[in-house]
Amino acid sequence: MHFTTEHRFPGAPEQVVALMVDPAFEAAVDLPDLSTPEVLEHVAPSPASAAGSLRLRYEYIGELDGLARRITAGRKLTLVQWVGFDTAAGPGRYSLEAEADPGRVHGAATITLTRDGAECVRRFDGDFVVKVPLMGGTIEKRLLPGILSRFDVEAEALADRLRAGGTGDAPARSRT
């Protein structure tokens, strides 16, 4: 299922990239129905290189509907998310996959960051796929809104951090 979503931030694209690949920031964002992430891999951007990436593992701790439970077959649902940027080479990339069965449940998107005056506009443009015979499209329609709402929560925390003048290691504002 194709998706697009857009967020505006009070800062430069470089600041947005720095936070999106900052494991301390991402771990402090309280995402609905997901555990605190485990950092699997981190490459920090540096002045010498505009490249940076972050791979995180989340456990889904919310309630699964009947169709989603059929996919997991009673196992824990763990998701691996990867975000990577090389601003010298072009747009960033995002991927999400079910750790136990990445060929069955996965998504990928291009992340475009555009300067608009003093703001940065972030746009995800991608696809989310659930490969289950006869039911995949229905499951995609049920799960994708939750994924997009988590992008919104992360964007709110990112904007709050930028408004506070922060990047780097300071904790993000968690949802209450």
Residue 148: burial class (beta carbons within 10 Å; 0-12, 13-18, 19+): middle
Residue 113: burial class (beta carbons within 10 Å; 0-12, 13-18, 19+): buried
Count of domains for the chain: 1
Kindly state the tokens that stand for 129.
Answer: 């796929």
Q: What proportion of the chain, given as a percentage, has pLDDT over 70?
A: 84
pLDDT-based confidence at 172, cuts 50/70/90?
very low
> The CATH number of the domain where 17 resides is what?
3.30.530.20
Per-residue model confidence as pLDDT tens digits over 57-115? 999 888 776 666 666 666 788 999 999 998 777 799 999 999 988 888 999 999 999 99
Q: Quote the domain boundaries for residue 132.
A: 2-163
Q: Assess if residue 174 is contained within a domain.
A: no
Q: Assess if residue 168 is contained within a domain.
A: no
Q: Assess if residue 48 is contained within a domain.
A: yes
Q: Assess if residue 170 is contained within a domain.
A: no
Contacts with 87 (C-beta within 8 Å, 6 or more apart), sequence order: 13, 14, 17, 50, 51, 113
CA–CA separation, 68 vs 156, rounded Å? 27
Give yes or no for a contact between 123 and 112, defined as CB atoms under 8 angstroms apart.
yes
Per-residue model confidence as pLDDT tens digits over 38-69? 999 999 887 766 689 999 999 988 877 666 66
Measuring CA to CA, how many Å separate 141 from each of 1, 31, 106, 137, 152?
A: 8, 20, 14, 6, 18
Residues in the chain: 176
Q: Assess if residue 109 is contained within a domain.
A: yes
Strands 2-9 and 119-130: antiparallel
Per-residue model confidence as pLDDT tens digits over 136-170? 888 888 889 999 999 999 999 999 999 998 665 44
Phi-psi region of 134 (alpha: psi -120 to 50; beta: other; left: phi over 0): left
- Kindly report the pTM of this predicted structure: 0.86
Q: Assess if residue 115 is contained within a domain.
A: yes
Q: Assess if residue 176 is contained within a domain.
A: no
Q: Assess if residue 44 is contained within a domain.
A: yes
CA–CA separation, 75 vs 100, rounded Å? 9
Give yes or no for a contact between 130 and 136, defined as CB atoms under 8 angstroms apart.
yes
The pLDDT value given to residue 174 = 39
**Statement: residue 129 has pLDDT above 60:** yes
